[in-house]
Chains A and B, each alone.
Chain A
Amino acid sequence: MNVNKLFGLTRSVSFGRNVFATRVAQKGDCVHHFRSRRFIRSSARSLTYAKDLFLGKVNKAEVFPFPEISKEELEELNQLVQPVEKFFNEDVDSKKIDHEAVIPPETLNGLKELGLFGIQVPEEYGGLGLSNTMYARLGEITSLDGAIAVTLAAHQAIGLKGILIAGNDAQKAKYLPKLATGEHIAAFCLTEPGSGSDAASIQTRATLTEDGKHFLLNGTKFWISNGGWADIMTVFARTEVVDKDGEKKDKITAFIVERAFGGVTSGKPEDKLGIRGSNTCEVTFEDTKVPVENVIGEVGGGFKVAMNILNNGRFSMGSAGAGMIKRLIELTSEYAGTRKQFNRSLSEFGMIQDKFATMALNAFVMESMAYLTAGMMDRPGVPDCSLEAAMVKVFSSEGSWICVSEALQVLGGLGFTKNYPYERYLRDCRILQIFEGTNEILRMYIALTGMQYAGKILTGKIKEMKKGNVGVVFEILGKKLKDSVVKTVDFGLTGKDGVVHPSLTESAKMFEQNAAHFGSTVESLLYRYGKTIVEEQLVLKKVADVLINLYAMTAVLSRTSRSISIGLRNHDHEVLLTNTFCKDAHFKNNFLLTQLQKNSPENNDANIKKIAQEVIAKRAYVCSHPLDRTF
């Protein structure tokens, strides 16, 4: 037995000890939490769910029970939903919007009348004042038309969010009322020609005028949704800031810029693959005079503002995707039920059934994740949900793409034509994987943030192990032996004081097993790569995928437990979906975690890298043609 293996063992053992300790601690916490929920509501929470999974901890208090809204809120919401649904079914001609690449003014007016431009703006400023959860619910309906959904999201999920979360009262009073009614439309100007996803390289500059009352804004912003018609823009620019050492430094500042300030020009709208009705263009600022009052937050504090805006905007993609898939299921199941092939209806074929199951599963998981996250964000305090929101975004954007593609496949050739809406849905939902942070970048973010969090806590322990402290090693080894005899992982999800319904015990066990394994894998990855983990993108991708699966499992377990407990309609179907999904995710996780082991034969990363390097070095497909000869 080599030394490395020994270390491997010791690592996982020590992990086991940790889990045990935290579990005990958590149980206490949990009870406390439930008993004194009211009190906790008023204080800031420091608990995090996803980050703690990296330590192999399951903070079940964070995710169980599944968040609810009050009865009054639900009634209010239903009153809102009905007219919106009616409007989208009757008055929105998505085909025309897509074809003419513009949303007709009467449609926009309809949206404004419904108050959809100010869903989250507080009522005192003329908005609907809805919570994140309720916003997510409305997102399900608005997503029926991609262009409208993106226009609305650009307006309120990112465009005016800056004023909403970081603006002062004067700014709120000045801008929010008109934005909430849709009289003014907002846009979010961060991306620049040279930067793309790399927001750090912002070149737009704001210089203070000599009287100190204005900033002069100069620069160009790219891919600005609503850029052509926005009246109010949240613009991020570099400003010179003198830091505490007296040194001058460039820092990013957020500004509220009105088009009326002058010097703002918009380019030609981009001709896009999907969401064609939305307006995306370049916006140029040329000596735009912005009063100092229009700085959001502090001068030089724009970075945090941008971060918060984007972190909070992503979760709604889950419900939007689910809304779209639910509609697609209705459309395609009708076709599959009526269309006869070989004297049988299409829905009788196993492979077609498979597609419907995929769609239902994805919609179910997306919905669960989105509302769980929205619920977490709606809790008082400053929620640390950026990881969760990013996971919802990644999962739902990819799930939507698969589901739309499967729906189209059910119709075969018909789905490929413009007579049916599937091709439009397919084009529209492709953007989900790209905007608000591409999925690749979000995966990196998810994995690295967790790694950093876990690393800070585990560094001391890992260093001790690396030193080869014999005492520590033997202690850990003994624990490991004891653990292997008992060989059960128990986070207290099931059993006597369990939070998961007994009919989901098997799925919950699978989740616990994966969560424990994930924790030990993270530890071994930190042991192996240390801070150079940043360069291991393929490893991080797998880490992120496992975490996303774990979070999705949590969401469905939590949701279904609630559904069974309160006896929601068709909860038996939810049980079925949950068990199916958990089993599937369990196997996927097992495979991914196996790949993450050292010297794993399942891991193809080295080869994948090599292939890519050879191809990129040539900038072409490398192989010779199969018909080529040498003599």
Chain B
Amino acid sequence: MNAPRHLLRIQCIGCVACFLGKPVKRLVLPARAHLQTPGSQHNYGQLLRPFHHSAVCSTSRPSQTQLENTADDETLNKGKSLVTHDDLFERAARDSKTKADFNRVVDVFSKKDIRRRGHVEFIYAALKKMPEFGVEQDITVYNKLLDVFPKEVFVPRNFIQRMFNHYPRQQECGVQLLEQMENYGLMPNVETKVLLAQIFGEKSHPMRKYQRIMYWFPKFKHANPFPVPHVLPSDPVELARFSLTRIADDLDAKITIYQYPSTDITETGEEVMRPHIVGIQSPDQRSLLAKHNPRKPVFVEGPFPLWLRKTCVHYYLLRADPIPPEEKVEEEFDPEMIGPEQSLFYPQRVELDLERDMGDDFSFIVDDVEEGPVYAMCMAGQGDQATLSQWISGLQETCPILGQIPTVFRLDSGPRELQTSSGAQQTPEQEVETEQIIEEEPLLSQRVKQ
């Protein structure tokens, strides 16, 4: 058993050596041809890949300053042989970090050396830097990065190359790139596929990765029944409207805008900011509130966080304690009306001493934990008691009984600890809230209105 295997291995090595000779030569030739043509990037693209245009390459023409920068980089590179690619990005964008800057760095690298020496390291570095430049969600940038790989070099040409891991580092790098796309929930497009086919061939590992992504991503694309859009509305009122409808699981629930955000200038020249107040209430909640026992208080509680992708918003509740069982009033119906003897329409119940058979009872045993009713929800530009009282008085227009019910404000000190985790993508709302709520006592600051 062992002998033939050894033989085979030797043969293989021979084959590889044999085959390696040719492609290398063949590859050098076109590369030289390019060296001689003084054409631009655009030309280069056309020559090699007649059907593929890298959009970024063809469109972004380096401006004067950029060119200078590029030259600068190149001289630096020549001077110092040991420059990590991280530094390349750092230096390229000392003052600003944008997509254009990122693209420029990639362009520089591509143009600098026709052999693209060190492209794997460069791509790894670029992948790491992407979030910094805010391009981690941009498919064109990933394609551009892929474009850094030399084409056709890593495509296996015979069954042996195909059998073994051909150019493993490069393939791994390609897979890594796709993986990062996957992690950011970014779906590759046709351009990606074409590039991968050109770089690694039809059956390479990156291509397999691509196929797997393309198999699973569409399947999971709509897995979330409550999707959040990638771009949230910037208007705080619109954002509140979106968030509240998301929380309220009732299609009948109605949004009321109690106050639009505005800034007034008082006579003394002081700027008074009026925060937005957006509330939601369903007809069921309204009728529940109308039945509320006026001797029991209702509570305004909050803020509670709601995460919308990376944004955190906060909402407030108007709720009450659960009704104790002894106070519950069961609605009594006239037995004549719903009883079995009525034939006016149809009986709403039958009077039988028979329960449902065990074999037909498919209901689960659910332990119902009783909670107090939630009467309304709101989002406000400020979480202080004055603003929320405005909401309550707005609610009184539809539920006059609220005027007789003692309202207790139980407001938390605010979303400070949450704010840190929400990071850069903080909404203006939060900023306002943190400023305003500090004056409230850290724990439940109770005060009875009225």
Asked if B47 lies at the interface with its beta carbon under 8 angstroms from chain A, I say no
Asked if B217 lies at the interface with its beta carbon under 8 angstroms from chain A, I say yes
Which of B338, B344, B347 contacts A310, CB < 8 Å?
Answer: B344
Which of B333, B337, B349 contacts A531, CB < 8 Å?
Answer: B349
Given contacts A441-B346, A448-B347, A451-B350, A530 and B356 within 8 Å (CB-CB): yes
Quick check: A531 and B345 within 8 Å, CB to CB? no
A5 CB to closest chain B CB (Å) equals 11
Asked if A528 lies at the interface with its beta carbon under 8 angstroms from chain B, I say yes
Asked if B342 lies at the interface with its beta carbon under 8 angstroms from chain A, I say yes
Quick check: A441 and B355 within 8 Å, CB to CB? no
Quick check: B337 and A459 within 8 Å, CB to CB? no
Asked if B343 lies at the interface with its beta carbon under 8 angstroms from chain A, I say yes
Residues of chain B lying within 8 A (CB to CB) of residue A4: 359
Which of A437, A463, A527, A619 contacts B345, CB < 8 Å?
Answer: A437
Main secondary structure of the interface of B (DSSP, over half): loop
Quick check: A200 and B338 within 8 Å, CB to CB? yes
Given contacts A528-B357, A528-B359, A619-B251, A533 and B350 within 8 Å (CB-CB): yes
Residues of chain A lying within 8 A (CB to CB) of residue B348: 534
Residues of chain A lying within 8 A (CB to CB) of residue B360: 528-529, 598
Asked if A114 lies at the interface with its beta carbon under 8 angstroms from chain B, I say no
Quick check: A452 and B251 within 8 Å, CB to CB? no
Asked if A100 lies at the interface with its beta carbon under 8 angstroms from chain B, I say no
A297-324 at interface with B (beta carbon < 8 Å): 303, 306-307, 310-311
B443 CB to closest chain A CB (Å) equals 39
CA distance A598 to B362 in the complex (A): 13
Asked if A621 lies at the interface with its beta carbon under 8 angstroms from chain B, I say no
Asked if A199 lies at the interface with its beta carbon under 8 angstroms from chain B, I say yes
> Which residue, of B217, B222, B346, B355, has the highest number of chain A Cβ atoms within 10 A?
B346
B222 CB to closest chain A CB (Å) equals 7
CA distance A310 to B189 in the complex (A): 68
Residue of B nearest to A446 (CB): B346
Quick check: B347 and A306 within 8 Å, CB to CB? no
Which of B218, B337, B343 contacts A311, CB < 8 Å?
Answer: B343
A501-536 at interface with B (beta carbon < 8 Å): 526-534
Which of A386, A452, A528 contacts B352, CB < 8 Å?
Answer: A452
Residues of chain B lying within 8 A (CB to CB) of residue A533: 350
A436 CB to closest chain B CB (Å) equals 10
Which of B336, B350, B357 contacts A448, CB < 8 Å?
Answer: B350
Asked if A198 lies at the interface with its beta carbon under 8 angstroms from chain B, I say yes
Residue count of chain B within 8 Å CB distance of chain A: 33
B209-240 at interface with A (beta carbon < 8 Å): 214, 217-219, 221-222
Residues of chain B lying within 8 A (CB to CB) of residue A528: 356-357, 359-360
Quick check: A452 and B350 within 8 Å, CB to CB? yes
Which of A199, A451, A459 contacts B353, CB < 8 Å?
Answer: A459
Quick check: A530 and B357 within 8 Å, CB to CB? yes
A455-491 at interface with B (beta carbon < 8 Å): 455-456, 459, 462-463, 466
CA distance A197 to B342 in the complex (A): 14
Interface membership of chain A positions 355-399, coded 1 if the CB is closer than 8 angstroms to chain B and 0 otherwise: 000000000000000000000000000000010000000000000
Asked if B334 lies at the interface with its beta carbon under 8 angstroms from chain A, I say yes
Residues of chain B lying within 8 A (CB to CB) of residue A529: 356-357, 360
Residues of chain B lying within 8 A (CB to CB) of residue A449: 340, 343, 346-347
Residue of B nearest to A466 (CB): B357
Residue of B nearest to A460 (CB): B353
CA distance A390 to B255 in the complex (A): 45
B249 CB to closest chain A CB (Å) equals 10
CA distance A630 to B108 in the complex (A): 35
Quick check: A386 and B345 within 8 Å, CB to CB? no
Residues of chain A lying within 8 A (CB to CB) of residue B344: 199-200, 303, 306-307, 310
Quick check: A462 and B354 within 8 Å, CB to CB? yes
Interface membership of chain B positions 192-221, coded 1 if the CB is closer than 8 angstroms to chain A and 0 otherwise: 000000000000000000000010011101
A221 CB to closest chain B CB (Å) equals 15
Asked if A73 lies at the interface with its beta carbon under 8 angstroms from chain B, I say no
A177-201 at interface with B (beta carbon < 8 Å): 197-200
Residue of B nearest to A619 (CB): B251
Residues of chain B lying within 8 A (CB to CB) of residue A530: 352, 354-357
Interface membership of chain B positions 401-437, coded 1 if the CB is closer than 8 angstroms to chain A and 0 otherwise: 0000000000000000000000000000000000000
Interface membership of chain B positions 9-48, coded 1 if the CB is closer than 8 angstroms to chain A and 0 otherwise: 0000000000000000000000000000000000000000
Residue of B nearest to A531 (CB): B352
Quick check: A455 and B187 within 8 Å, CB to CB? no
Asked if A54 lies at the interface with its beta carbon under 8 angstroms from chain B, I say no
CA distance A408 to B354 in the complex (A): 49
Residues of chain A lying within 8 A (CB to CB) of residue B221: 630-631
Quick check: A532 and B355 within 8 Å, CB to CB? yes
Asked if A334 lies at the interface with its beta carbon under 8 angstroms from chain B, I say no
3 pairs of A and B residues whose beta carbons are closest in the complex: A530-B354, A630-B218, A200-B337
Give 28 pairs: A residue, B residue, CB < 8 Å, sorted on A. A197-B345, A199-B344, A200-B344, A303-B337, A307-B342, A307-B344, A310-B344, A445-B347, A448-B340, A448-B347, A449-B340, A449-B343, A449-B346, A452-B340, A452-B351, A459-B352, A527-B357, A528-B357, A530-B354, A531-B354, A531-B356, A534-B347, A534-B350, A630-B218, A630-B219, A631-B214, A631-B217, A631-B221
Residues of chain B having any CB pair with chain A under 8 Å: 187, 189, 214, 217-219, 221-222, 251, 333-334, 336-338, 340, 342-357, 359-360
